Structure 1
């Protein structure tokens, strides 16, 4: 409660920001479905958003360094509000793709500013609790966005105005803060070749998680519409499914700190396959059956990214964990761009149940690719297993979230806080190994 009080302004900004984001994702799916637009276009909308998030990770650093945190946050917030209102004023799906990408770019910059401020105000011993609070605020915002649909189920022009209102409210706490201006942080190097050699199974898990979760956020409203659910029922369905992601984080942390993480990832993939198959095989279900089955699927699928993050941290040294966080987020974003497009095409050709058939196929990839017995342990760090930390996995965070992660050493964070300058490339690993 003391931490919540200290950071309540930034948590409120996060809740408002994610309320708008969650409501916008579901609204676009329902709006396009009502206009009989096929699933490929709906998937493309979500892919454009995640592409914008990935691009915004690069652009945000430069913008913040040039104009400062508050101006960057306010400017990007204005861009997001204008783009949402533009969606409400036009009926041109091609233009919506551009606006959706701009929303993603603007929101990524806003995430970076919020996370910079949280890191600036959090003491080293508080970082884990502050990070968990940020994750809770993210999920609560996403759930709140779905509950708005329950209370106000219309898809008329007033809905984009409500979404824009949520985004506008997120500007207030940051714009009027009296806190010290955060120090600028330099972009973390990605080092893809190093991490592909060091943590291939973790990167595979993150990529698959992006495929599944990106498809869920983009296409689950279309799936629910094709099942005959009303707008209010779709809001309940989405809210229950997203709430499962929040609910599972703490029991998952208990398991992750006590059992082999590669084994947990493989078991989660098996459970995802088993739980998704009924929804994939039968073309229609009543609401009473969809809710518990959708809850169980999301309960499992939202464990993949946090497990992969913890698993990869077991095999990467502390000074490289800032770069690791950036690499994991980019990998997740790539998967989240591809997933909605593939699942949307499948749903157009074979029906709505292909959303869960796609999730089951992704689970099969993990079952085939993740093998605990192949983890050599050659690069396992001394403190492994590194403590599991609840992690938002809808890309509702930026590479700067590494600064809040207690698994990242203070020295690594201090290095990222230095002014941008030329930096020698990291040496590549010489060993050929098969660790996580």
Structure 2
């Protein structure tokens, strides 16, 4: 593992700095808007704009990287993100923040694509699992580190956006000075929505609901904690503990996923999410001593939905289509993550901060209603299913190319897989309601 870290330390450090800045920015925006007494709906709109930028960046990033190359695209987008963060620090105009937040999402998606294509190209097939795990750990540790900065620096003045911009600027250095060979040019992976809606409807439903829950959490949990009377330092601790739960649950989740039916695990996770979210939804106010363990438990469950859905969908899609599948999952997650903060923000404005967890409970009910193991026919189940579960970061820190980096996709580079995806015409599949 030390050898792998040494080989990819530049890309891991870049990922760590990127996610540190991103995690801190999400919490800062929510707290800054709350301090300015701005409507909670705007807080949700900020996170929705970010995910809209991520989805848009997934389309633009391929063209930009193909046009100017990986390092130039990465540095250009890093400059855009840094400038947008500084722009947020220089103004308190919420309408302008929406545009800047979307530009940040667009630029960061391009940076994710550069890092992931580089990792995939340089990783040996036998090491791809360890390389992927390192990338995931760097992603989650960056998100946690962003929250912990608030603990040591709780002020919401103009110096905090400068610190965020500093993180994004530092992420440029490891990639720009690396001596690694450039990856091959990228080709966009086709979405094939009809094919995937027919083949993996329950997985797509789970990813959509996961986007609703996780998007609203990242955007509105700081506002919820602020309305509960927590200080900025305490909000940093609360958010850090909750996000750390997402990292902590991945490996035991993988053990369970490889041994038990994945549709059953998704439905069980939905039931547990309903049970853990209900107390926070029903109690209008809580002390921090109660919020920490209860919030930790909710996140322990909600962060299982996306990786389970990814593994479940891979069980029913052939290897040559898995990069396209990842692109489809990202778009679906992005749609949910755009809608979730807006819907939850509107509920919080009307009925109080605890509606954030009432919204999560309602999303859990949707999954309980829609996901049923007995509906999985197994007609399109791939030969190697169940495909080995891989700990997966949520789509706040990934691009469509993460499918090529995924160790379940072996023997092909991302470029080769995308060519195969482009050559494969969408086929009309019979409705068998599988995964």
Instruction: Mark yes or no: TM-score above 0.5.
Output: yes
The 3 A distance-change label for structure 1 pair 86 and 420 is farther
Asked if structure 2 preserves the Cα contact closer than 8 Å seen for 1:197 and 1:432, the reply is yes
Higher mean C-alpha deviation, range 174-183 or range 392-401: 392-401
1:320/1:412 contact within 8 Å kept = no
5+ residue gaps, structure 2:
none
Distance, in Å, in 2 between the alignment partners of 1:419 and 1:85 is 41
Query: TM-score, length-normalised on structure 2?
Result: 0.98
Separation of aligned partners in 2, 1:339 and 1:418? 34
**How far apart are the structure 1 equivalents of 2:159 and 2:21?**
14
Which residue number corresponds to residue 403 of structure 1? 404
Aligned residues: 434
Contact 1:214–1:394 (Cα < 8 Å) also in 2: no
Whether the aligned pair in 1 keeps the contact of 2:117 and 2:414 (CA below 8 Å) is no
Q: Residue deviations 1:319-342, cap 9 Å, x none?
A: 111111110011001100000000
Judge conservation of contact 1:333–1:395 (CA < 8 Å) in 2. no
Contact 2:120–2:414 at 8 Å: present in 1 too? no
Deviations 1:223-269 (A, max 9, x none): 00000000000000000000000000000000000000000000000
Q: 1:265 to 1:419 in 2, by over 3 A?
A: closer
| 1:5 Cα deviation from its structure 2 partner | 1.4
Tell me if the contact between 1:186 and 1:416 (Cα under 8 Å) persists in the aligned partners: no
Partner of 1:151: 152
> How far apart, in 2, do the equivalents of 1:421 and 1:391 lie?
25
Matches within 5 A, 1:116-155: 116-155=117-156
Residues 174-210 of structure 1: CA deviation (Å, up to 9, x unaligned): 0011110110121110011111111000000000000
Q: Does 1:193 align with 2:182?
A: no
Q: Is the 8 A contact 1:76 1:110 kept in 2?
A: yes
Deviations 1:27-71 (A, max 9, x none): 000000001111100000000000000000000000000000010
The 1:309–1:39 alpha-carbon spacing in structure 2 relative to 1, beyond 3 Å, is same
Q: Which deviates the most, 414-423 or 25-34?
A: 414-423
Moved >3 Å (runs of 4+)? 411-414, 416-425
Indicate if the aligned counterparts of 2:324 and 2:421 stay in contact, CA closer than 8 A: no
1:77-136 CA-to-partner distances (Å, cap 9, x unmatched) read 000000000000011000000000000000000000011111121001111111111011
CA contact (8 A) 1:315 1:380 kept: yes
Q: Provide the residue aligned with 2:334 in structure 1.
A: 333
Q: How far off is 1:26 after superposition?
A: 0.1
Q: Distance between the aligned counterparts of 1:205 and 1:417, measured in 2?
A: 25
> Partners in 1 of 2:109 and 2:131 — Cα distance?
19
Kept after mapping to 1: 8 A contact 2:257/2:265: yes
Q: How does 1:139-288 map to 2 (within 5 A)?
A: 139-288=140-289
TM-score by length of 1: 0.98
Does residue 344 of structure 1 match 2:345? yes
Structure 1, gaps ≥5 residues long: none
Range with bigger deviation, 163-172 or 124-133:
124-133
Is 1:65–2:66 an aligned residue pair? yes
Q: Aligned pair in 2 of structure 1 residues 157, 421: CA closer, same or farther (>3 Å)?
A: same
Q: Post-superposition shift, 1:421?
A: 8.0
1:213–1:394 contact (8 Å) kept in structure 2: no
Q: CA RMSD in A?
A: 1.4
Aligned to 1:435: 434
Indicate conservation of the 8 Å contact 2:321/2:421, yes or no: no
